[in-house]
Structure 1
Amino acid sequence: MDTLAEDQRDAVRQLQAVLDSQHYDTDVLVSVLQSVDWSVHSAMELLLDGPHVDSSASSRSTMSSLDLEPQLPVDRPERAGGRGPPRTLADAIFAVLSLPFHVVTGILRFILGVFRIPFLSLNFGASSYRPPRQPHDSRGAIRRWITTLEEETGAYNIKSSPSVATGRDSHPSTSRRHAYPPANPETTRVLPDFFDGTYDEVLDICQKEGRIACVILVSEEHDDVPAFKRVTLTDPNLVRIMNDNNFVVWGGDVRDKIPWDGNYFFAVLRSGSHYEVAAQKLQVTTYPFVAFLALQPRRSTSTSSFSSSGPVLTVLSRHYGPSVPDSGPTSARSLINHLEGQLLPRVDPFLTRYRNQLQERERDRLLREQQDKAYRDSQRRDRERIEAKIRAEREEVERIRKEEEAQREEEKRLQAEQERQESIKLRRSQWRRWMRRSIVPPEPRDGNSIRLAIRLPSGRVVRSFPSATTVTALYAFADSQMIPSSMNSQDDPEHPPEGSGGGVEILERYIHSQVQGPESWWGFKLALSYPRREIKWKANTSLAEAGLKNGEQLVMEVTSNVVNGKKPLGHDSDDQYESESD
């Protein structure tokens, strides 16, 4: 630049002012100007995708109002795969085939530009390839545009979220960051509440909430845009009207390439963005552009009357052209007069009824939800009550079954124990009867004997025993006294219940073989009454060896229920006995 003349520098500055300097290097612009003999007009024709549009054409504008233009239904942006409207197949193939050529020409242009060698920049028309900006999410781009608008106008978005500046929030937000109206309205400039979502989300809000949408599209290539931003968008009266009527304000620069969701390769081949799609649907030809959209009753095709079907999202009015002077179609005064005089009086009644219907449907929905919830809760409580009753009945049946089973087991056990006791008693009775027949000696007739008195549970018995009688025979005699009188001695068995043969030795060996011990097997014990002295059973022991003398009195003390099931007896006082004499 230092080696250029003053008129050449002016030409470069003019070309930079018209073009986006971020996409064109200064050396490239100088090379292009040199190749066209420093003609700014010819350089613009080479660099742009077509002839330069005269700025005077943008000043010619029209404003279609609600009562002058028929309703224009709004089509939604394409949603297939989340991508915008594609180019034709031929354009896509041409863009792919021209990609290597543009890479080579870009390198040559850079090299020749370094050496100040002019290089002709060829234009392949609108279908030629251009290096796109790095793809990014549409919401972040809209927020950055809002931030740029705040910096350019010195105003702030009255309901912007703090995430507009940070870019950390990924969802549309309308939470207030600044109070409205501002504390100092004379010194503080505000912007409308720009929605930071997509164009498709704006249409959804209009349909679901019955709100009016204000779509603002600009392009920095038009000279009327800066004044529109500084004057119209910051007008306090216009901002107040849109804020009081809860407008959904959405806008952006149509030059921003915001690819639809998809991979990077398809984003390169598609030129559609949210702004361009909105511009196509709204038939935008001149910038700045303002359109108002809202739901309106569907008009019948046969007559001018409204159809009974549901409302349709309609373009209420479009405004495009300069905002200066105040009579301009996009000036704040013109828009305020249009809103207060035509649009709001015609649209508000229907939207109010529509919002009331929405609120009524929402109340009905909430009421149905509450009723359904109460019904489900009632069903749940009834089911729990029935299940608890069934469970209690099952538990009661199970308890009764277990009790009955335990009772049966106890009865079986008692019966088995009784049978066992009966078996023991029967066997014990057989031993008694055998001992009465085989062990108890007959009463002697001579005087060489020992006379003893025995106190039994059933009474008192006196008997003489031979002097050689053993303690086993004495215990056998006492035990035989427990045999019922109905059992005749003649029927007593000749052989013991167990073993073979007979005699005291068989009995003593059998008693010693019992686990429970002799005392437990006999079921009683004999003792002198006074002074008390126990006569323990011992095998092969005579009465004299046991210390028994003629005329002594013994007491049978029962120690178990083997002895005829009677209670054990303690020894009585000697007053109950009489001394036996010869």
Structure 2
Amino acid sequence: MEHLSESQQQALSQLREITNGGDDEVAVGVLSSVEWDVQRAAEMIFGTASTSTPNLPSSPPRRPIETFDVDDSYQGTTNSPEEPTIRERDTTSSLLTLTRPLVSLLAFPFHIISNVLRFIFGILRIPFPQFRFSGLNFYRPLRPRPSSAGGPDRWVRELEEETGAVCIGRLKTSRGATSSVAVDSSSSSLTARTYGTTSPNDDGRKLLPDFTLGGYEETLKSCQRDAKIACVILVSEEHDDVAEFKRSTLTDLTFVKTLYDNDIVVWGGDVRHREAWSAAEKLQATTYPFVAFIALQPRRSPASSSSSRPSSPTLTVLSRHQGRCVPATGPTSAATLVDHLERQVLPRVKPFLERIRASQRERERDRMLREEQDRAFHDAARRDKQRIEAKMAAERAQIEATRKAEEDALAEQRRRETEAENTKKREATRMDWRRWTRRAVVGPEYSDPKTSLRVAIRLPSGGRVIRSFPPSATLTSLYSFVDAQLIPSHFSPNDDPISPPEGVAGGEEALEQQIVSMSDAADWWGFDVTLAYPRTEIPWKSGIRLSDIQPLKGGGQVVVELRNSVRRSLADRSPTHNTAAQDDDGYDTEDSE
């Protein structure tokens, strides 16, 4: 006891004085389960809530206890005539409280013998029977009592170990077919809802109700939510009738089958544990074993109330059963509980719960229908939004494509205008070169007929021109003369420029330098000069004399072919001189004879 604080040791000593000693470990367990409240511990030990304990320090105010509506209109028919009323039981408990210390002292030797036998039977794994005098003192069995931290799961495991039974929820059983259930010892879940077809007596094991392992409040909320009946079972190891209740009532196959087939949620615990103690306080349990049936019932409204609005159902204690389970007519016997369930609770409660469940299913269908409608609405809205967004995107793309096409067309127009302007400038510059060439390079025609080279030129327009060149004339002279023939007639020779458009003046040498500086001489001239027969091109080369070209050594005839660019720009040109000689080239032909 060294680990206890000073206040806890003081509470322990006060409890010793009230109970005339006893087992300190058991007293510590009881005190810890009631948060070291001496008065509550004494009430728990003596089984009464009205025990007067002098010389006790004032305990702190206790929190309000949640209560339920108690509907005991059908309760009186379940009590046996042999059962005492609650007032009689309270009187008996008060008398027992006064005589208990003396009886405990006289029974002390029996407890020593009981503990020795319990120890021996525990080693041999033999169940030890309960004696009436065992609840009159603070004896402690071989297996340690659970601490206040224990819960329903621990209590159910201990119940299975003590009774040698197994919860029916661990069997592979379908509801309504518990007459052919089988034990599945490999299952680890106490509330597993799996099913099979073997008889429960095949392996000799007994069955327990399908206890739920959640908390008390959680179980009630589940029953309220699912519209089910709850069966709350509370026991106290300090009461002599509990052991027989566990062996006879909780393992009764008819009782277990009735609970399981009607889908009744079963919750149980020992009041030594905090959760079960809280449930006992709320259910106002005074004697153990204790069984209560709870379910939703219409809320009772005062008779003077004129409101026609239906009130919501509330959890109601349908009946409470407490006391001995023997004989068979005892309030907590299996026969009494089954008869009460089949004759009163189920016929009265199941139709109302079924209406609630039908209403819940209807609301669930309505909710699912609304969710489906909302989902369909959202899907339609999403598709409409996507369609509108796609249409808007297509319109934006079309507007963007139109804008881009307009920009491209404008850019193309500007490019063409710029190109046309540049082409016009180049043609103007090229025309200036032609006119300068006509004035500075071509000059007047060579007049010596003996030494001159007469060349007949077939122009692109179809006309012919005859030109006499001096013996020193070059290809540049021939090309310059042809180039001068491409000058439109509205350009007067008198207006030809004196100096070249670019570079310095220098006659034919300046022209050849300009042509050489260009990348392609053919592009500069814009036409090709070929022999009439055989048809052979005479390409321009700088410094080549006409007399050095074999076909033109004594004169000859050439044909001028324009390139496309020059043909377009000079489509409307006309020759400027020698028009009278276009029909006679000075040579005799067969046609002239």
- The reply to whether TM is greater than 0.5 is yes
Residues 456 and 465 in structure 2, CA contact (< 8 A), matched pair in contact too = yes
* Structure 1 residues 535 and 345: alpha-carbon distance in aligned structure 2, compared to 1, 3 A threshold: closer
* Structure 1 residues 502 and 135: alpha-carbon distance in aligned structure 2, compared to 1, 3 A threshold: farther
Q: Tell me the alpha carbon deviations over residues 22-43 of structure 1, each in whole angstroms, 9 at most, x when there is no partner.
A: x9xxxxxxxxxxxx9xxxx844
Q: What is the Cα deviation at residue 344 of structure 1?
A: 2.0
> CA separation in 2, counterparts of 1:421 and 1:64?
112
TM-score by length of 2: 0.68
* Structure 1 match to 2:415: 413
> CA separation in 2, counterparts of 1:541 and 1:560?
27
> CA separation in 2, counterparts of 1:290 and 1:452?
141
One of 74, 88, 91 as aligned partner of 1:67 = 74
> CA separation in 2, counterparts of 1:351 and 1:368?
25
* Structure 2 match to 1:455: 458
* Structure 1 residues 180 and 44: alpha-carbon distance in aligned structure 2, compared to 1, 3 A threshold: farther
Residues 158 and 177 in structure 1, CA contact (< 8 A), matched pair in contact too = no
Residues 482 and 564 in structure 1, CA contact (< 8 A), matched pair in contact too = no
> CA separation in 2, counterparts of 1:154 and 1:292?
26
* Structure 1 match to 2:156: 146
Q: What is the Cα deviation at residue 538 of structure 1?
A: 2.8
Q: What is the Cα deviation at residue 298 of structure 1?
A: 1.2
User: Is 1:155 equivalent to 2:157 in the alignment?
Assistant: no
> CA separation in 2, counterparts of 1:395 and 1:518?
49
Q: What is the Cα deviation at residue 393 of structure 1?
A: 1.1
> CA separation in 2, counterparts of 1:334 and 1:176?
27
User: Is 1:252 equivalent to 2:230 in the alignment?
Assistant: no
> CA separation in 1, counterparts of 2:44 and 2:505?
146
User: Is 1:44 equivalent to 2:22 in the alignment?
Assistant: yes
Name the SS for the 1:341 alignment partner.
helix
* Structure 1 residues 577 and 292: alpha-carbon distance in aligned structure 2, compared to 1, 3 A threshold: farther
* Structure 1 residues 513 and 168: alpha-carbon distance in aligned structure 2, compared to 1, 3 A threshold: farther
Residues 211 and 246 in structure 1, CA contact (< 8 A), matched pair in contact too = yes
Q: What is the Cα deviation at residue 175 of structure 1?
A: 3.0
TM-score by length of 1: 0.69
Residues 530 and 558 in structure 2, CA contact (< 8 A), matched pair in contact too = yes
* Structure 2 match to 1:75: none
Residues 182 and 188 in structure 1, CA contact (< 8 A), matched pair in contact too = no
Name the SS for the 1:439 alignment partner.
helix
* Structure 1 residues 135 and 402: alpha-carbon distance in aligned structure 2, compared to 1, 3 A threshold: farther
One of 496, 502, 507 as aligned partner of 1:492 = 496
* Structure 1 match to 2:94: none
Name the SS for the 1:498 alignment partner.
coil
* Structure 2 match to 1:552: 556
Q: What is the Cα deviation at residue 451 of structure 1?
A: 0.6
Residues 528 and 562 in structure 2, CA contact (< 8 A), matched pair in contact too = yes
Q: What is the Cα deviation at residue 250 of structure 1?
A: 0.4
One of 517, 523, 529 as aligned partner of 1:526 = 529
Q: How does 1:344-355 map to 2 (within 5 A)?
A: 344-355=346-357
User: Is 1:211 equivalent to 2:236 in the alignment?
Assistant: no
* Structure 2 match to 1:230: 247
Q: What is the Cα deviation at residue 225 of structure 1?
A: 1.1
Q: What is the Cα deviation at residue 144 of structure 1?
A: 2.8
Q: What letter is aligned with 2:454? A: R
Q: What is the Cα deviation at residue 281 of structure 1?
A: 0.2
Residues 441 and 473 in structure 1, CA contact (< 8 A), matched pair in contact too = no
Residues 212 and 293 in structure 1, CA contact (< 8 A), matched pair in contact too = yes
* Structure 1 residues 182 and 377: alpha-carbon distance in aligned structure 2, compared to 1, 3 A threshold: farther
Residues 55 and 223 in structure 1, CA contact (< 8 A), matched pair in contact too = no
Q: How does 1:101-250 map to 2 (within 5 A)?
A: 141-160=151-170, 174-177=191-194, 179=196, 182=199, 184=201, 187-250=204-267
Count of residue pairs the alignment pairs up? 446
One of 398, 401, 405 as aligned partner of 2:400 = 398
* Structure 2 match to 1:88: none
Residues 144 and 165 in structure 1, CA contact (< 8 A), matched pair in contact too = no
> CA separation in 2, counterparts of 1:199 and 1:455?
123
User: Is 1:378 equivalent to 2:380 in the alignment?
Assistant: yes
* Structure 1 residues 379 and 390: alpha-carbon distance in aligned structure 2, compared to 1, 3 A threshold: same
Q: What is the Cα deviation at residue 444 of structure 1?
A: 2.8
Q: Tell me the alpha carbon deviations over residues 162-191 of structure 1, each in whole angstroms, 9 at most, x when there is no partner.
A: 9x999998xxx8432454784548945221
> CA separation in 1, counterparts of 2:336 and 2:475?
143
* Structure 2 match to 1:74: none
Q: What letter is aligned with 1:312? A: T
Residues 75 and 319 in structure 2, CA contact (< 8 A), matched pair in contact too = no
Unaligned runs of 5+ in 2: 4-15, 28-40, 50-69, 77-144, 173-183, 572-582
Q: What is the Cα deviation at residue 67 of structure 1?
A: 2.6
Q: What letter is aligned with 1:526? A: V
One of 463, 470, 488 as aligned partner of 1:466 = 470
Q: What is the Cα deviation at residue 215 of structure 1?
A: 0.3
* Structure 1 match to 2:543: 540
* Structure 1 match to 2:445: 443
* Structure 1 residues 54 and 388: alpha-carbon distance in aligned structure 2, compared to 1, 3 A threshold: closer
Unaligned runs of 5+ in 1: 1-22, 24-35, 58-62, 70-131, 257-272, 568-575
> CA separation in 1, counterparts of 2:472 and 2:435?
22
Name the SS for the 2:499 alignment partner.
coil
Q: What letter is aligned with 1:152? A: E
> CA separation in 2, counterparts of 1:185 and 1:66?
42
* Structure 1 residues 165 and 496: alpha-carbon distance in aligned structure 2, compared to 1, 3 A threshold: farther
Q: What letter is aligned with 1:251? A: G
> CA separation in 1, counterparts of 2:46 and 2:496?
149
| Higher RCO, Cα 8 Å, sep 6+ | 1
Residues 290 and 319 in structure 1, CA contact (< 8 A), matched pair in contact too = yes
